[in-house]
Copies of this chain bind each other. A is one copy, B any other.
């Protein structure tokens, strides 16, 4: 849970509430009840925002508020929003974060480990009892700097959700298909590789599955889209109550649909306002986007 200052091509937005837990939990709360977040914020974090989360029935018992400032990130996006540059990172209260899972939350069945130090991700896992699905994210910084700890985490992860550059870095393999095979050998039986607007690939026991990004007329801010995708995915799985390969494939459409809302405005502005009927409409649009009538059989050749 964080503040982001976003330098967009069309203007700068100061101290926007962001952070993986924020985006993910809002997305999940659109699909299931009982979403719980764990995180740390400083005294500067707006009470209003915590209230907003609680109104969405997101349990914030695991959110510590401590003296000091909240995590802060400042970034500048390129003109086409396809890349961004970090201008400033201030860990602040995050520097000494030790995630504590409330006693009542230890039996949480579906666990999404946001991108933090892999040792902290492991510490969370040590505090939960036999979850049905452990999903995790990570980033280049931990892949290069904490590979031994990250490997331990991979051994305890069911579903790794990373982007294509991270997959290449983690495996040392340029080709995405071979990179995926390599990563799955290290622990996660399931792997989702995100490719931004180009969609995402799932590699699991059922083979390879592709879910597109939703083609949008306007993208305002890609920040948090990946976290929204992961939160929506887990939210759908939790709602469904099973972790089958087919459920996971369908969950990707919900994750992708929610991510497509997320990018329509700055920070959590848009995702925080999505209604169930808007989500239903976009899911239907998604179904049309990939609808080829179900059959790819070749017709008999006409007479020659």
Interface residues in chain A, defined as those with a beta carbon under 8 Å from any beta carbon in chain B: 31-34, 80, 174-178, 195, 198-199, 201, 207-212, 215-219, 236, 239-241, 246, 249-250, 252-254, 280, 283-296, 298-299, 301-302, 304
Contact = CB atoms under 8 A, between A and B. Distances in A.
Contacts of A241: 299, 302
B291 A249 contact: yes
A265 to B, nearest CB: 15
A259 to B, nearest CB: 15
B239 A31 contact: no
B290 A176 contact: no
A198 B201 contact: no
Contacts of A208: 215, 288-289
A289 B304 CA distance: 33
B288 A178 contact: no
A31 B215 contact: no
A120 B130 CA distance: 68
Contact of A217 (B175, B195, B293, B298): B175
In the complex, the count of this chain's copies comes to 2
Given A198-B195, A289-B210, A290-B290, A296 B215 contact: no
B293 A249 contact: yes
A257 to B, nearest CB: 9
Nearest to A303: B33
Contact of A299 (B177, B218, B240): B240
Given A288-B207, A301-B33, A199 B212 contact: yes
Contact of A298 (B31, B291, B299): B31
Nearest to A216: B177
Contact of A304 (B34, B280, B285): B34
Contact of A198 (B178, B198, B287): B198
A107 to B, nearest CB: 15
Given A80-B174, A175-B218, A198-B195, A296 B210 contact: no
B292 A253 contact: yes
A299 B212 contact: no
The 6 lowest CB-CB distance pairs between A and B, nearest first, are: A198-B198, A249-B292, A210-B212, A177-B217, A177-B215, A33-B304
